[in-house]
A = this chain, B = another copy of it.
Amino acid sequence: MTTSAPASPEPRSSGRVRLEDVAAAAGVSRTSASRVMLGQGKVSEETRRRVHAVAEELGYVTNVAASELASGGSSTVGLLLRDASNPAYGLLFTELQKAAHAAGVTLLSMTIKDDDQGRQQIASLHRLMGMRVAGLIVATGGVTSEQLEPFRSRLPIIRAGRPESSGRIHAVSYDEADAARHLAEHLLNLGHNAVAVQTARAVDSYPEFVRSSVMAEVLEERGATVHRLEYGPAGDAMKESVDLVRSGRVTAVMAPSDLRQLNLIRHLQAAGLRTPEDVATTGCDGILPGVDLLGLTTMRIAVENVAERTIANIARMIGVAGTGHDARGNGETAERGPEGPGPEDPAGGRVVHERLPGRFIQGRTAGPPRTTGRKPT
């Protein structure tokens, strides 16, 4: 009766099959059945086969709640994510998943809306914590370091994609400063010396804030005139950009992301201005599928590397050996944070703080300054 009734076409639509049912049907104890399901060695081949057969026939699925309760904790890693509709986050999500799969780590994700002053973020965070995940990856700026702090001692937490300011939480991020520097220097080398930089506030988008700050600094260091145009309540960066271009007071406009650059181009077009003929523009991200066709001048951020390093770090912290094919390279590009002998994490290591540089994309939106315009003083 046990092995002689292979997989009926219509599995019993029994509400729930418990391990006990499987054990009974296979004529063994719960313990043995459990061992088989867990793949722990100490079972005879015969028993193993019978249990597997019965389990499949009955459509048994391990009750994760019971399993984790009994064994005390999950081995999956939680992922807190924001807004996958932004291609940059969507790709990060995909790449994290891919890297996790390769490293034998299971990821459980919750995405969060960015409103509520982080209220919902915290709720999701708590839910993930309640699941007793083995580690946590935070890929959203919506959750602050202070909110993470209480959990820091309970499990490994690592920020992915976003620079971490506190220095007490692990982070693997894009090297925003490097990207900003590259873009600014590109414009300088083209001969621009009057540039508008669209700036974001730290509270709105920390990565954009860092990018725009560094862009402006580099330009000023090298003697260019910089107009900082802030998004949000303080001003209408887009409109002001157009005005500056039209009046010839700047020959280039730097946007802190590609999505912003697209919007900038729309505004310029609406005003009858072309890029690069009338003005040079730059963005940052390089993720958009059509970036080549649009000819955007930008930096391609190192999503794949960030994903891989994030997973490699979390895997190490939760003590997963890894499958071996993720140990190559990239470690060299890492920079340790400036904290000296920083605080210890629960796993006993130093605080990880890696910044991964991107790749410059020349594009067509940034040419030399228009010579017909009034020369800047």
Q: Which residues of A contact B (CB under 8 A)?
A: 11, 13, 15-16, 59, 61-69, 74, 83-87, 89-91, 93-95, 97-98, 101, 106-113, 120, 126-127, 129-132, 150-151, 153-154, 258-259, 262, 265-266, 269, 288-290, 292-294
Q: Which residue of the partner chain B has the closest CB to A102?
A: B113
User: Complex formed: what's the CA distance from A74 to B15 in Å?
Assistant: 15
A294/B294 contact (C-beta < 8 A), A84-B84, A87-B90, A113-B101 known: yes
Residue of B nearest to A79 (CB): B109
Q: Contacts of A65 on B, CB cut-off 8 Å?
A: 64-66, 68-69, 74, 131-132
Question: Known: A85-B90, A131-B64. Is A266-B289 also a contact (CB below 8 A)?
Answer: no
What CA separation (Å) do A292 and B288 show in the bound complex? Answer: 13
Contacts of A153 in B (CB 8 A): 13
**Contact between chains at B66 and A129 (CB < 8 Å):** no
Residues of B contacting A11 with CB < 8 Å? 150
Are B90 and A15 in contact (CB-based, < 8 A)? no
How many identical subunits does the complex contain? 2
CA distance A292 to B95 in the complex (A): 27
* List of 8 A-B pairs having minimum Cβ-Cβ separation, nearest first: A90-B90, A13-B153, A85-B94, A64-B130, A65-B68, A84-B90, A85-B91, A65-B69
Task: Give, as a whole number of angstroms, the nearest-CB distance from A155 to chain B.
Answer: 10
Contact of A289 among B66, B87, B101 (CB under 8 A): B87
Identify A111's interface contact among B94, B129, B132, B258, CB under 8 A.
B94
Q: Contacts A107-B110, A262-B289, A294-B293 hold; do A59 and B101 have CB atoms under 8 A apart?
A: no
A65-B64, A130-B62 known; A111 vs B109 contact (CB < 8 Å): yes
Decide: B83 and A85 in contact? CB cutoff 8 A: no
Find A113's partner among B97, B131, B262, B265 (CB 8 Å cutoff).
B97
Q: Given A89-B90, A107-B110, 13 other A-B contacts at CB below 8 A?
A: A61-B126, A64-B65, A65-B69, A65-B131, A69-B69, A85-B95, A90-B90, A97-B112, A262-B289, A288-B288, A288-B289, A290-B290, A293-B294
Partner of A127, one of B13, B64, B86, B97: B64
Q: How far is the CB of A80 from chain B (nearest CB, A)?
A: 11
Residue A64 contacts which of B112, B132, B154 (CB distance < 8 angstroms)? B132
Kindly identify which residue among B98, B154, B266, B293 contacts A266, using a CB–CB cutoff of 8 Å. Answer: B293
* Cβ distance A51 to chain B, nearest Cβ, rounded Å: 16
Which chain B residues lie closer than 8 Å to A93 at the CB level?
84-85, 90, 111
Output the residue of A15, A74, A84, A293 with the most chain B CB within 10 A. Answer: A84
Chain B residues, CB < 8 A from A83: 94
Most B-side CB within 10 Å, residue of A83, A85, A90: A85
Closest to A87 in B: B87
In the complex the two chains form, is A106's CB within 8 Å of B94's CB? Answer: no
Report Cα–Cα, A165/B89, bound state, in Å.
32
Measured between C-beta atoms, what is the minimum distance from A90 to chain B in Å? 3
By beta carbon, the residue of chain B nearest A94 is B85
Instruction: Return chain B residues, CB-CB under 8 Å to A266.
Output: 292-293
Q: Are B111 and A97 in contact (CB under 8 A)?
A: yes
Q: By the criterion CB–CB under 8 Å, are A15 and B154 in contact?
A: yes
Bound CA–CA A289/B291 (angstroms):
10
Q: Please, which residue of chain B has its CB at the minimum distance from the CB of A120?
A: B101
Q: Which residues of B contact A109 (CB under 8 A)?
A: 108-111
B85 with A85: CB separation less than 8 A: no
User: How many angstroms from the CA of A87 to the CA of B288 in the assembled complex?
Assistant: 9
